[in-house]
Amino acid sequence: MLDNTMWRKYHKENNFRKYIAEFCVINEMDLIVEDKELYGILKAKLTKKELKLFAMDTANTLDKDLKVEFSYNDEELKKAKFKLYKKLKQDKTRLEFRV
């Protein structure tokens, strides 16, 4: 299930649920039960670039590798991460993940 996703390219398991709960400040038990539906919402709420950054950053990819992958400098990477995690914390995004 969800084997050919951006997430699985950088993670061995479909453990995006715990990261969504962590960054959206939601109890993991309150998230949508079906992984496929939850991942679909994550894909819909983030751009492809943001989803890839989220997957790579949570996989503990080094910042230097992220900068090369996205052609960012230090400041641009910092802004991109800030924007990504801010977006996940916004009500219009995080409330979509709830049951």
71-99 pLDDT, tens digit each = 999 999 999 999 999 999 999 999 999 97
Question: pTM for the complete prediction?
Answer: 0.91
Q: How do residues 25-39 score in pLDDT, each as one tens digit?
A: 899 999 999 999 999
Largest Cα–Cα separation, the chain:
38
Helix, strand, coil percentages in the chain from 3-state DSSP, rounded to 5: 70, 0, 25
User: CB-side exposure of 41: number of CA atoms within 13 Å?
Assistant: 19
The per-residue pLDDT for 1 is 56
Please give the C-alpha separations between residue 14 and each of 5, 11, 59, 62, 80, in angstroms, as whole numbers.
10, 7, 12, 21, 23
